[in-house]
Structure 1
Amino acid sequence: MSTTKIALVTGGSRGLGKDMAINLAKKGIDVLLTYNSNEAAATEVVRSIEALGRQAAALQLNMADLRSYKAFVQQVATTLQSKWNTNAFDFLINNAGIGGGVPFENVTEEFFDEFLNVHFKGVYFLTQQFVPYINKGGRIINISTGTTRFAHPGYSVYASMKGAMEVLTKYMAKELGTKGITANIVAPGPIITDFNNATIRNNPKMQEFLSSLSPLNRVGEAEDIGPVVAFLCTNDAAWINGQRIEVAGGINL
């Protein structure tokens, strides 16, 4: 059986998830990451992790397709056995997501349901299926958003689902503690990535406005978030449990 620590990062092929995966590797943790459609990008992240001296693998997962979860969990189990000679992993980072801002009055039920499935219902049931595979002393790290603390027009659906995740994280911490598993949620502020069609990255005026809301006078980058998630997977963070950790540079204080 392997003594190596292994993390499963959903949506680890780009953006925040990619930086999380690489920073986990820097902490000496092997990584199993998922991608939705861009296998080439996922393969590149795997190579980057291997270049750091860690093992990695990538699997396809569409968070919106809840019916695929059972087969995906079995695929993870098979990969753990074949690549790491183990039947369990240590850290589950529920990062995969979709972006989109729509004014409250224009939200359709279809849009609402897609965000519900990807950001809340899907995370709920995928995590539930993975609990038997998480080692004692393991960690669950969910991802939220600064917009659960401050309201930004157009994000009523996204922020509501993330707000639900913040409550769920406390229940995970409460109910899984008997298994030695902690659960925390990291809430990034505005970040320059390709998330939500790179809305912030492609809009200098928006960057300038958002920077003005921060005491540090800038928006965040993926490199601001990955190290925090990696830290939560170390022994130094073993006593942090059930917490919402905002990593947003003090925006809207």
Structure 2
Amino acid sequence: MTTISLVTGASRGLGRNTAISIARHGGDVVLTYRTSAEDAMAVVAEIAALGRKAVALPLDVGDLASFPGFGEQLRDALTTLWNRDNVDHLVNNAGHGVMASISETTEAQFDALFDVHVKGVFFLTQALAPLIADGGRIVNISSGLTRVSFPGFSAYAAAKGAVEILTVYMAREFGSRGITVNTVAPGAIETDFLGGAVRDTPDYNKGFADMTTLGRVGTPDDIGPMVASLLGADNRWMTAQRIEVSGGQTI
């Protein structure tokens, strides 16, 4: 049976690449977007061109009050397009970054990071748990910055560290249903994260590249296919793990 994966924040960046990689592996995709419906529909079209089904639904993972309504939209889409009432996989990818020193970080910036990356992941997973098939997969996206430090990312890394702890507890609680839960922690990747800082700022690009064993920063193609492969049946016995995909950053 064809799998259905829900990927949050999949209109761009790592989420987009993950959604397309899942389709290339033969799966169908429900993708979410916060603001750019046009970009999301372009991803849907690209997945359709691969011969797979996809649908894009709006979702702000920082707006917890919207989760029940999103669940209803998801149920309707699953019934209409797949004649199913559940998904096989949930990839908690949506998020944003803040680069500021501890002395410069505002309470609003701190709260926004934790609202999206921690509360959003926790309560969206809680809301959607009844819609995840037994034997399914959950993947939470973290960051290489939880293992090594880089100036300006204290609040962001703290939020991602919380995600990694949540992953362990989710794995424990959902294990009775045969659902595995793992964390993927990318290193520095060339995307539009932080306005494309790693991609477009030569000093940042070189600084992070010099930290990696493979001598370069990553691209979305280094992450999406790995997440897609983690969702496969061959990984059914791995759970509660943090998998860093960073090119050997600071080892």
Question: Which residue is 1:27 aligned to?
Answer: 25
Match of 2:222 among 207, 224, 227: 224
**Per the alignment, in what secondary structure is the counterpart of residue 200 of structure 1?**
helix
Q: Residues 41-190 of structure 1: matches in 2 within 5 Å? A: 41-190=39-188
**Per the alignment, in what secondary structure is the counterpart of residue 103 of structure 2?**
helix
**Per the alignment, in what secondary structure is the counterpart of residue 114 of structure 1?**
helix
Deviation of residue 136 (structure 1)? 1.1
Code of the aligned partner of 2:42: E
Code of the aligned partner of 1:6: I
Question: Which residue is 2:232 aligned to?
Answer: 234
Deviation of residue 103 (structure 1)? 0.7
- Per-residue CA deviations over 1:195-226 (Å, capped at 9, x if unaligned) read 11111111012111211111111000000000
Question: Which residue is 1:4 aligned to?
Answer: 2
What is the root-mean-square deviation of aligned Cα atoms in Å? 0.7
2 CA distance for matches of 1:161 and 1:99? Answer: 10
2 CA distance for matches of 1:89 and 1:22? Answer: 17
**TM-score (ref. length: structure 1):** 0.98
- Per-residue CA deviations over 1:46-102 (Å, capped at 9, x if unaligned) read 001011110000001111111111101111111111111111010000000011211
2:210 equivalent to 1:212: yes
Code of the aligned partner of 1:109: E
Deviation of residue 4 (structure 1)? 2.2
Code of the aligned partner of 1:47: A
**Per the alignment, in what secondary structure is the counterpart of residue 105 of structure 1?**
coil
- Per-residue CA deviations over 1:165-207 (Å, capped at 9, x if unaligned) read 1011001111100011000000000000011111111101211
2 CA distance for matches of 1:99 and 1:42? Answer: 20
2 CA distance for matches of 1:188 and 1:86? Answer: 32
Deviation of residue 132 (structure 1)? 0.6
1 CA distance for matches of 2:65 and 2:127? Answer: 12
**Per the alignment, in what secondary structure is the counterpart of residue 184 of structure 1?**
strand
- Per-residue CA deviations over 1:109-162 (Å, capped at 9, x if unaligned) read 111111111000111000011111111110000000001001111111110010
1 CA distance for matches of 2:143 and 2:195? Answer: 17
Deviation of residue 18 (structure 1)? 0.5
2 CA distance for matches of 1:169 and 1:64? Answer: 19
2 CA distance for matches of 1:55 and 1:220? Answer: 28
**TM-score (ref. length: structure 2):** 0.99
Code of the aligned partner of 1:103: S
**Which blocks of at least 5 consecutive residues in structure 2 are unaligned?**
none
Q: Please list every run of at least 4 consecutive aligned residues from structure 1 whose deviation after the TM superposition is greater than 4 angstroms.
A: none
> Once the two structures are aligned, what percentage of the paired residues are identical?
49
**Which blocks of at least 5 consecutive residues in structure 1 are unaligned?**
none
Determine if contact 2:98/2:109 at 8 Å carries over to the other structure.
no
